[in-house]
């Protein structure tokens, strides 16, 4: 699911030539073979948001495609821990990924890790996407985020014949 809730000020800020703050991508990767969800932020400094520490891994958050096809987006980030790549590459179970875009103006940039000031507004989000087409190397993890396509699921029905039986 994708959610866009841009205020007029955020739209004007995103289209301005310069801005006093940056947009940050907060990515949550949840997988049954990982003891805890992976929380990463697209910056070089860790952040604390929603009471959790988000690890700094530079990546480029992108919006989901808005075409006639199913929504999807390419994703690539550094392989900072071999356990992450191992869990994502060696299983048939797909990881669930959520991405939230927040403004750096909602965080105290004078402390490390960066702490939230009040309650940050989520500018853009897409959540409960499945990570497919995973490619894991020693340096990077890449894949495609997609929503589950229920239209291609097989319909569970048994072919049963009862000749001459009418109810």
DSSP annotation of 140 reads E
Burial of 152 (0-12, 13-18, 19+ CB in 10 A): exposed
pLDDT of residue 60: 82
pLDDT of residue 164: 60
Instruction: Let me know: does 50 contact 118? Beta carbons within 8 Å.
Output: no
pLDDT of residue 40: 92
pLDDT of residue 157: 61
Q: What is the mean pLDDT of residues 100-120?
A: 92
pLDDT digit string (tens) for 20-43?
Answer: 778 899 999 998 888 889 899 999
Considering only 27-31, 51-55, 62-66, 123-127, which range has the smallest mean pLDDT? Answer: 62-66
DSSP annotation of 86 reads H
Domains of the chain (ranges plus CATH)?
2-149 (2.30.110)
Rounded Cα–Cα distance for residues 74 and 146 (Å): 9
């Amino acid at each position: 699911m994708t959610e866009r809730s841009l205020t007029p000020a955020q739209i004007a800020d995103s289209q301005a030539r310069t801005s006093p703050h940056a947009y940050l991508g907060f990515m949550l990767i949840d997988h049954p073979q990982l003891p805890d969800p992976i929380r990463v932020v697209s910056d070089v400094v860790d952040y604390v948001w929603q009471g959790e520490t988000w690890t700094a891994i530079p990546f480029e958050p992108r919006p989901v495609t808005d075409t006639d096809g199913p929504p999807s987006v390419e994703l690539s980030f550094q392989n900072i821990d071999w356990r992450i790549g191992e869990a994502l590459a060696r299983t048939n179970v797909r990881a669930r990924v959520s991405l939230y875009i927040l403004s750096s103006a909602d965080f105290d940039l004078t402390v490390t890790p960066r702490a939230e000031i009040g309650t940050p507004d989520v500018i853009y989000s897409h959540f409960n996407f499945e990570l497919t087409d995973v490619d894991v190397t020693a340096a990077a993890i890449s894949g495609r985020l997609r929503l589950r396509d229920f239209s291609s699921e097989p319909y569970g029905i048994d072919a049963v014949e009862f000749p001459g039986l009418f109810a």
